[in-house]
Amino acid sequence: MMLLRKTIMLAGLFLLSKAGMSQCTTLGQTPGTAFPVCGTTSFSQVNVPICSSTILTVPGCSGSPNSAIYLDKNPFWYKFTCFQSGTLGFLITPNDLGDDYDWELFDITGRDPNAVLSDPSLIVSGNWAGTYGATGTTVSGVNYIQCASDPKDNLPSFARMPNLIQGHNYLLMVSHFTDSQSGYSLSFGGGTASITDPTEPHLASSRAACDGTTTTLRLNKRMKCRTLSADGSEFTISPPLANVVNAVGFGCSAGFDMDSVILTLDAALPPGNYTVNIKNGAEGNTISDNCDRFIPVGESLPLTIYAVFPTPMDSVTTPGCAPDEIQLVFKKRIRCSSISPDGSDYVITGSTPVTIVSASGNCTDDLTPVIKLKLSAPIVTKGTYQVTLVKSFIDECGQQTFGGNVGFVTKDTVNADFTYATAYGCKVDTIAYFHDGRNEVNLWRWTFDNGKKSNLQNPKITYVTAGQKMAQLIVSNGVCRDTSAWVPIVLDPFTKVGFEASEFVCPREQAMFKDTSIGHIVSWLWEFGNGTTSTSPTPVPQSYPAPFTTITVMPKLTITDNIGCTYTATGKIILPDNCYIDVPTAFTPNNDGLNDYLYPLNAWKAVDLIFRVYNRFGQVLFETRDWMHKWDGKFKGQGCDPGAYVWILQYVNKDTGKQVFQKGSTILIR
């Protein structure tokens, strides 16, 4: 059975998991342990461990009975934040250009990273083509997700640069479909968005633990775990009543970056005021952010050792769009064993009913700085809410906290569906696009298939060609985001005027006219050049007076369409004075303007014509298939001698279809 190169039969999934394809556990190979990304950094992945954990849904590619099964096969994940809205450009280059790499981009703003494995609405863009070699995004890439394919099809491996929204968080999955461990490089550039954090790295705050033997330093942003020395040699305490002997980055056991550092001292600090200082540690540096910028040497933080007291409710992490989880933040870490897994420690009240179904923490050694409240359903409307502690919890110092509340607000979800109206013009058509702006939408990003873009709520786009046009809209209210489908809009053809008429009209014959105009035509005006006119779309044949010599008339057609546009076309009809075909018996090629040429006269109705002239030896001196091409009495540039010459004429009569053959002679006189 032949299958697409990314198709796996359902029966084969068991073999996939049991025969070599293990679950992904290496740091960076799951959404929750993604590499942090700075736009100035290029990543070089030497090898890719073989694994796969989840079947993914790919919009436009998954779901049909014969569709491929898409897996997070041999993946690595990268996380970043957009600091300036715009387009994202990146390039994935395999170390072996015979390898096939795929990718998918997700917007995880306000969501748990692992939600990308089950929620296809988070997908922003991707490419799953079976084409070998480099992949990524470019300005000219396809504007849809390329589905699985056979390598020989050589389908596009680059997608159009997606639009990122300032303040939103993203995950990029790079999947190595080829079953080898050969790696790749990943670099960012070419787009207009910025994923480089402009904030310089600094120490943000400090707090001491219960017994004064540990101190937690909060950083002003997430920073690289590998730049922290295990012995904490980057830090000193003053006055020097204790020395730092150990340092651990919070979250480094399950990721690559940290937002705080836990320092262990060799002695307990008594209550009082102290200073924590940073210097170059054992590795010759301080701590760097994900863009390789280091906290300045000599920076310090005040540290106060307090008497032990219960930890109050502190704050709520700002919810994202349609949050189905609320995250509580505390100044001290909370003992995970004191958290009720069913979430019954808390209630949420506010604009709409909210039910908590579970509670958990980011637990390390039974301690967590946050408590995550899982909701029964996402909050999809704007509102104000309050989280209230109805039972109690125990902090890292063993102190029990009762009561307290904190508030948070949510935004409405948004819809990018739009309407449009078409205004037809004589030479330019205009499509006016409309979005209702509901639910506090404050960002519009329109993309049109003619390369134009707009940030207006209701743009107008002009077109000078007819046919199908395409438009797509992305909207956001600063929290929630939605992208419309590409909407096709068909513009009617522009009105064009034209007509067919008899090429020539012999005496006592009539000219025929046929309108060939296109469009929604409402009126016609014919001017035939014989003094008569007509307003009929199918005018009757027209007669012309026999002229004394051949003349040309210029008939004209003027049309008006349903929007009042007027167009005019002009034709040409030859009116010969005679249509009797004959060849002169003599001619005088002396350039006096009289009888200088020999040719078949009045051959208006001759088709497939051949006219030849011979000398008395049977040599062809002249031949033509155009009766207007005349013999001037010369052969190879030299004038022929006076005397008799034989000619033949054959043609088909245009009216009767009868073939005619004539032969005769003529006298050349000089």
Give residue for tokens 């190169």.
Answer: 5
CB 526 within 8 A of CB 548: no
3-state secondary structure of 509: coil
- Taking the CA atoms of residue 23, residue 25, residue 28 and residue 29 in that order, the dihedral angle to the nearest 10 degrees is 0
State the DSSP H helix or E strand holding residue 571, giving kind and residue range, or none if neither.
none
Cβ-in-10-Å burial (0-12, 13-18, 19+) of 189 comes to: exposed
**pLDDT, position 15:** 30
- DSSP at 141: S
What percent of the residues of the chain are helix, what percent strand, and what percent coil, each to the nearest 5?
5, 45, 50
- Encode pLDDT of 644-666 as tens digits: 999 999 999 998 999 999 999 99
Q: Within its chain, how far is the Cα of 460 from the centroid?
A: 21
Contact criterion met (CB below 8 Å) for 8 and 21: no
pLDDT at 7: 42
CA distances 540 to 69, 537, 544, Å, are 67, 10, 13
Which pLDDT value is given to residue 181?
Answer: 84
- Phi/psi of residue 350, each to 5°? 160, -150
Secondary element (H or E) of residue 13 = helix 12-18
H or E element at residue 272:
strand 272-278
Q: Residues in the chain with pLDDT < 50?
A: 1-20
Give the span between the Cα atoms of 449 and 484, in whole angstroms.
14
Residue 575 CA from chain centroid, whole number: 60
* Whether the Cβ atoms of residue 292 and residue 226 lie closer than 8 Å to each other: no
Q: Are 177 and 74 in contact (CB under 8 A)?
A: yes
Q: How far apart are CA 254 and CA 362, in angstroms?
A: 11
Specify the pLDDT at position 255. 87
pLDDT of residue 179: 82
Sheet holding 643-653, edge to edge: 586-587, 659-668, 643-653, 606-614, 620-624
Cβ proximity of 505 and 497 under 8 Å = no
Domains along the chain with CATH numbers: 12-188 (no CATH), 203-305 (2.60.40.1220), 315-410 (2.60.40.1220), 419-491 (2.60.40.10), 499-575 (2.60.40.10), 586-668 (2.60.40)
Distance CA 553, CA 575 (A): 7
